[in-house]
Structure 1
């Protein structure tokens, strides 16, 4: 089974727990789907945008990442902005989304804003972002790098790392640690499945969710 398929069987919460167990960063809050039910899993293709600085571009931001991505990969966008400043413009929109669907991109994660939500929802492209705005990137943001490491919510993401995004948030897993993280996540998921059955069968919550549950992330 492909890594993306194995990740898709889990969720961001379980993977966050697995990362906690291993002492690894990777879970990011505040980046959520722009349409209900959108989720994605796959390898990252990275790009960074920065505030417009007067440079002339020969292509719109995002075009190079689209041409770099192969089937099922996730485009991960860092939108650099002053610390504490809200996203001032979108770095992904309808035409880019249409091209992404046509090229088989698995989804897009934007640490910043996107626009054209209605169109993206109709296209069924999974997209998670920090904000939605109507403002274009043209004259406001330019593409600074594609394929280089980016920082998303304080987490360093390299091209080829793994991504899962769902309704709870986004998780990034270093490519060299994915087997280890998946093994821990599978073990934790199996334990929680047993607990879920016990609760559904009427067991007392304090019995099921006792000390064992509290200490579960410390198990190795």
Structure 2
């Protein structure tokens, strides 16, 4: 696990039972910004939930880095952790690769989210490691990007991420929940999800859509 307190199993269970849409709705209702736009799974139909262990990348030459990017974070992480790589939208060079994916899988890490390109996508897919990114690219990070620091505050597609924040990703994208707000967000998202399940039940009963998705739907986030 990361150097912060271990993620509560019940909190992760509740988060993992939701989808990003319900959590995004909850963030909206609470006036929080947490949807990291433009990121998607590059390894197939995957979903992940966990607490963020962050990695910040910069162009080679900006800082002296004593190790290959991501290695310290992988070594320090495990079940319940999600590696969040601030690659700052770069799509011409990879910010993650196959050997790192093997290490993450070996450590039991829940998955990896990269704000930019990754490579060795087939390897990660074969490993069953969920990887969310902007795209795949074959170009190596070597001599192009390096790690500035890890387990520091970073930005993921415009969303601030602190070590220990909660991350959820699925087919609709990626959301980040500040650790201090997780209980409020979970409670609201569970309410939203329950209301939507009730609406789907009405659809299956044959209720007209105009009635199912009327004023109640527009006011779903209120109250």
1:14-41 superposed Cα distances (whole Å, 9 cap, x missing partner): 1000001111000122100012211110
Establish whether residue 116 from structure 1 lines up as the match of residue 124 from structure 2.
no
1:126-174 superposed Cα distances (whole Å, 9 cap, x missing partner): 1100111000000110000101100011110000000001111100000
| Corresponding residue for residue 60 of structure 2 | 52
Which one of 209, 214, 220 corresponds to residue 218 of structure 2?
214
Find the residue that maps to 1:212 and give its secondary structure: helix
8 Å CA contact retained: 1:72, 1:107: no
Distance (Å, rounded) in 2 between the aligned partners of 1:35 and 1:100:
14
| Corresponding residue for residue 203 of structure 1 | 207
Distance (Å, rounded) in 1 between the aligned partners of 2:143 and 2:128:
28
TM-score, reference length from structure 2: 0.93
Aligned residues: 215
After TM superposition, what 4+ stretches of structure 1 lie above 2 angstroms from structure 2? 54-58
Which one of 161, 168, 176 corresponds to residue 165 of structure 2?
161
| Corresponding residue for residue 99 of structure 1 | 103
Q: Structure 2: any 5+ residue segments left out of the alignment?
A: 1-8
1:98: Cα distance to partner? 0.2
Which one of 127, 130, 144 corresponds to residue 140 of structure 1?
144
8 Å CA contact retained: 2:46, 2:171: yes
Distance (Å, rounded) in 2 between the aligned partners of 1:54 and 1:201:
61
**Residues 54 and 43 of structure 1, relative CA distance in 2, 3 Å threshold:** closer
Find the residue that maps to 1:66 and give its secondary structure: helix
Distance (Å, rounded) in 2 between the aligned partners of 1:96 and 1:116:
10
| Corresponding residue for residue 49 of structure 2 | 41
